[in-house]
Amino acid sequence: MSRKLLLTHNDVPGIQSYEVYRQQGGYASVEKALKTMAPDAVTEEVKKSGLRGRGGAGFPTGMKWSFLAKPPGVARYLVCNADESEPGTFKDRYLMERIPHLLVEGMITASYALGANTSFIYIRGEYFYVSRILEKAIEEAYAAGWLGRNILGTDYSLDLYVQVGAGAYICGEETALLESLEGKRGNPRIKPPFPAVAGLYGCPTVVNNVETIAAVVPIVMQGGDEYAKIGVGKSTGTKLISASGHINKPGVYEIEMGVPVEEFIYSEKYCGGIRNGKKLKAVVAGGSSVPILPADLILKTAKGEPRLMTYESMADGGFATGTMLGSGGFIVMDEDTSIVKNLWNFSRFYHHESCGQCSPCREGTGWMEKILHKILDGHGTLEDIDLLWDIQSKIEGKTICPLGDAAAWPVASAIRHFRAEFEEYVKNPKGIKDVKHYYRIHKLQEA
């Protein structure tokens, strides 16, 4: 289970440059697609591959492409979502930084399949140095004739642009991204209409994650059926996992779908075990927005089977016992980790990043953060834990975009699995800032 499809040439010196990338067989998928395949045939291969969106939601990519409306005389767009901002997720940055031409190649092939003559890579503002790497790669691709008018002498033309965002997490939500790309405030749009019908400038648009678009290259080269043979069940192919936290070897790993979580954490090939020989306490498996799971549930499902790095296995048992593979931001926490502190950190992030359009998210994220801060300071009560639970339930599923869910799920899972720790913060004043206040509100005698 060590096959690499995206990071194959990762270790080749100078792979960032066009010449080296081309020597390694780069841009062959463009050649194959444009010269030997009809656009619909490329889409068909992607459908056969079973590739699921690597941005977090895991929606089948081929199906998403087939939803694209194709009214005659109307422009179509492909937009690459490189606004990677989920805490714990840094795999797209790695891919773009190390092998920028892979993304450019994927963009050309995917744009051809979708009939898009103008495509965009929307990258987060903080990745300014990556955007320069991409711009250079695009320049080289133009110079070599892979972009521009009549690519490879065919009647297909494509212009590719890099658009740098201003650094807002919400712009990673596909409709907010489109708003931002149009030069407006990055607020999510209300769906329907979906971007496949009315997206960028009101035209049919497909928005895909960096990793998803890069995966189109091996799919076209080896065929969808071959790609589908990798992985387990409906989780096909390989997946980039950005592993961080209390592990010996943090970094970006390309795994074949279906690696057991236990192997991923403890094997020398991947994370290399928990730092300093400590015990595993919890894992956030797919970026900070997915439910956090305690050690026993992340290693095994509720049925006692080994949990695998697949969409289905991660979600096994729903949120009561499962989580999501999400964007692949794998954050490992050892036994010394404070769940409440970590949760406050996550909540602080979502509060800060809420766009403020809809009331549950705008008001609720801030409220949750303040309660968590109060509990951390030792001023919390047991009622505050119940209140926190109630607030998250009133945000989840009630907001315009999934940011509300992303803020609510970590809170719900932390209380569900680690309630005792919250209660400990409430009952034990150790380490709190204002001890006198603590004793006063709890009507206790100071020791």
Partner 1 sequence: MAKVTIDGKTIEVPDGTTILNAARMIGGNVVPPAMCYYSHLKTSGGYCRTCLVKVTKGSEKDPRPMPKPVASCRTTVMDGMEVQNMTAPDLQEARAGVVEFLLINHPLDCPICDQAGECHLQDLGYEHGKARTRYEFKRRTFPMTDIGKYIKLHVNRCILCYRCVKVADQLCPGRVHGVMYRGDVAEISTYIKNAVEHEMCGNMIDVCPVGALTDMTFRFKNRVWFTKPVDAHRSCDKCCGKVRLWYKGEEVLRVTARKDQWGEVQTFDGKPGWICNSCRFEHKLTSDWVIEGPSHIDRHSVISANHYELKEGHKKTDKPRKNLEGKRIQLGEGALDPNNK
Q: Which of 174, 211, 316, 353 binds partner 1 (CB under 8 A)?
A: 353
Number of other CB atoms surrounding residue 353 within 10 Å: 19
* Minimum separation from the CB atom of position 400 to partner 1 (A): 6
Site for partner 1 in 142-181 (CB under 8 A): 168, 170
Torsional sign, CA 230, 233, 239, 242: negative
Residue (90 or 349) nearer to partner 1, CB: 349
Distances from the Cα of 32 to the Cα of 15, 61, 112, angstroms: 21, 20, 11
If you ran DSSP here, which 8-state letter would residue 303 be given? T
Residue (168 or 217) nearer to partner 1, CB: 168
The stretch near partner 1 (CB under 8 A) out of 31-39, 118-126, 277-285, 394-402 is 394-402
Q: Which of 38, 63, 190, 444 binds partner 1 (CB under 8 A)?
A: 190
Q: Which helix (H) or strand (E) holds 329?
A: strand 329-334
- The CB-side HSE value for 315 (13 A sphere, CA atoms) comes to 11
- Does 357 engage in binding with partner 1 (CB under 8 A)? yes
The stretch near partner 1 (CB under 8 A) out of 149-157, 225-233, 289-297, 346-354 is 346-354
Say if CB 184 and CB 64 are below 8 A apart.
no
- Does 376 engage in binding with partner 1 (CB under 8 A)? no
Q: Which of 358, 372, 385, 408 binds partner 1 (CB under 8 A)?
A: 358
* Minimum separation from the CB atom of position 168 to partner 1 (A): 7
- Does 185 engage in binding with partner 1 (CB under 8 A)? yes
Q: Which of 49, 347, 354, 413 binds partner 1 (CB under 8 A)?
A: 354
Q: Which helix (H) or strand (E) holds 327?
A: none
Pairing mode of beta strands 329-334, 238-245: parallel
Structure tokens that stand for 419 in this block: 């309630």
- The 96-135 contact track toward partner 1, x by CB under 8 A, reads ----------------------------------------
Residue (73 or 192) nearer to partner 1, CB: 192
Residue (170 or 325) nearer to partner 1, CB: 170
Q: Which of 112, 122, 367, 425 binds partner 1 (CB under 8 A)?
A: 367
Residue (192 or 277) nearer to partner 1, CB: 192
One-letter amino acid of 347? S
* Minimum separation from the CB atom of position 65 to partner 1 (A): 21
Residue (159 or 384) nearer to partner 1, CB: 384
Say if CB 95 and CB 211 are below 8 A apart.
yes
Say if CB 127 and CB 238 are below 8 A apart.
no
* Minimum separation from the CB atom of position 358 to partner 1 (A): 5
Q: What is the dihedral of CA 88, 332, 291, 52, to 10 degrees?
A: 60
- Does 399 engage in binding with partner 1 (CB under 8 A)? yes
Query: Residue 392 contacts by C-beta under 8 Å, 6 or more apart in sequence?
Result: 364, 368, 407, 408, 409, 411, 412, 415
Q: Which of 23, 154, 157, 359 binds partner 1 (CB under 8 A)?
A: 359
Residue (132 or 352) nearer to partner 1, CB: 352
Q: Which helix (H) or strand (E) holds 252?
A: strand 251-256
Residue (3 or 185) nearer to partner 1, CB: 185
Task: Write out the DSSP string of 273-294.
Answer: SBGGGPPEEEEE-SSTTSPEEE
Residue (275 or 398) nearer to partner 1, CB: 398
Torsional sign, CA 254, 259, 263, 267: negative
Distances from the Cα of 180 to the Cα of 45, 125, 162, 313, 416, angstroms: 32, 12, 13, 35, 36
- Does 197 engage in binding with partner 1 (CB under 8 A)? no
* Minimum separation from the CB atom of position 185 to partner 1 (A): 7
- Residues in contact with partner 1 by the rule CB under 8 A: 168, 170, 185, 190, 192, 351-360, 362-367, 370, 387, 393-394, 397-400
